[in-house]
Structure 1
């Protein structure tokens, strides 16, 4: 979901006398004036890269599809918090469908074969789904904070309508911002000479000037800071609650938990799981955003292969959340089993109890 995609390629003007040059290098479009130079990999690395990148795309598509089907099909999972998770999965699913397959070809072939129009859409989708993910995660952290600090009052404070507003904001703001920035060309203001030098047939370059790189970083940094503060508070409160319950049990000699204790324990576990998802997001995306701001202020010095590595670490985040849910949530594993075996097609399958043994 990189806010700007760069295919580092060189432009070779084609003339009848340049056949010897063409023989020495491979072009994205042979015999085409102004074609980008292709920098292909040898067969073994090429196969490995296609396998790794394609696996990420498939995992992002089918893993997030399972999350969405699970939450939307089973009535027991219909909650404001889970609707946020389903919407987050939708953003990651769309990355797997509209971004990763095309980026796979671009990264391995070092050429863009999908047309100038989709190059723009690809980059817009990239930015939109990145910001949609981070704002979903920010609202999820707020949801977990309310749930852990006051679990009994939480259902009346974070309702379906509140969740809906959070989802609407995350999508609308992200899409409007990304399409406006890239659609108007404001991102490249002042970089016309650089864009002209890099533009060639078979390339997909979107340079972002220093001002907008700074704005992009701020839009990433603010929700990130909010998440860190909220989750730090959540884990501090959870630790205090656990200590309080332990002290009470030792004093009374009872091991049984009250209803409030059980609710608090469940919310803490959910917060811990989603905290891991937030941490995974930060580890995936922070290096890319830091590089983008350093790169813009130092004249785009990042080597192409380093840039591709950072982009794919970020892309792989879209495939990670389903794995995190499968690892931490027994109900998700049970839901996957019902979906994969086709039992969700049975009558009344939506009322199955996913929280029983």
Structure 2
């Protein structure tokens, strides 16, 4: 019996072997775990690449300096933080459950994590509002939504998210390194009180979710009405000319709006709904790991949903890949046949 216990003690590994208070490593070495870590690493790399392409495209090409694209740029910046910092750190922790960077870095990481995710969600909401104004009030859009107003809105949104995160971390005892309570040395675990989960649910889920669902339903209704009006005019013209036309604009609008809403709800609903079923949510729970990564993966899907569907983005990526970005001043991203 003593020999068995001795052999078990030999296999135990610690995050910091020289520290008596060190946490034990929980190394994920099975084939399934390795496959999961490789998959998540690929998601992180794709998130960085896609959002960098969006940022470079909008920043370099003057033709893309519009209020809508500025909101997409803000969204890409927030998602880039998720892919560049939040995802890799979570992958390292998932590999052996150890935190090697100290308590100060733990507080900074929690702040970056919260600010990037909340800023991404704010940008999604503002993009929805921008599209609502563009579709429902197109004649006054250029006066109501200007570039400088959008810049101010983005600054205020990021400032609000930063202020909210500071208050959030303070009341959950996560703002200062001295406030973080750990069971052992080498642990960075975020414990969220249920009262703050309810506040977070209202501010960063119910409010933006309701806004996005209501506005996109109005956008679809208005777009469908406009499509029918255009189709009626075209049919009258085609009858005179003896031509046949196909009406696909309505179905395209329905597909795009359906994709946007489905992706948003699929990424955020599981995390917030499941968070209400426990007294406190820890960053090492299965719920946090699975549904938290769904929220992170939304940062990889956003550039596909909000940028790559546009011809200008595909054209700019082509110029970037072919190393023609230095000719951006005279390149045309909006050809007549696009």
Q: TM-score, normalised by structure 1?
A: 0.80
Whether 1:244 and 2:252 are equivalent positions in the alignment is no
Residue 276 of structure 1 corresponds to which residue in structure 2? 259
Q: 8 Å contact 1:217–1:293 — kept in the other structure?
A: no
Helix, strand or coil: the match of 1:123?
Answer: helix
Whether 1:68 and 2:51 are equivalent positions in the alignment is no
Q: Aligned runs of 1:1-357 on 2, under 5 Å?
A: 22-23=9-10, 25-182=12-169, 184=170, 186-188=171-173, 199-220=183-204, 221-253=206-238, 273=256, 276-277=259-260, 279-296=262-279, 300=281, 304-325=285-306, 327-346=308-327, 349-356=328-335, 357=337
Q: Runs of 4 or more off by more than 4 Å in structure 1?
A: 18-21, 268-275, 299-303
Q: State the 1:44 CA deviation.
A: 2.5
Aligned CA distance change for structure 1 residues 343 and 140 (closer, same or farther; 3 Å): same
What is the distance in 2 between the residues matched to 1:119 and 1:316?
22
Q: State the 1:303 CA deviation.
A: 8.0
Q: Which runs of 5+ in 2 are unaligned?
A: 175-179, 242-248
Q: State the 1:162 CA deviation.
A: 2.2
Residue 246 of structure 2 corresponds to which residue in structure 1? none
Superposed CA RMSD in Å reads 2.9
What is the distance in 1 between the residues matched to 2:322 and 2:282?
51
Number of equivalent positions: 319
Which shows bigger deviation, 173-182 or 45-54?
45-54
What is the distance in 2 between the residues matched to 1:134 and 1:275?
18
What is the distance in 2 between the residues matched to 1:251 and 1:317?
44
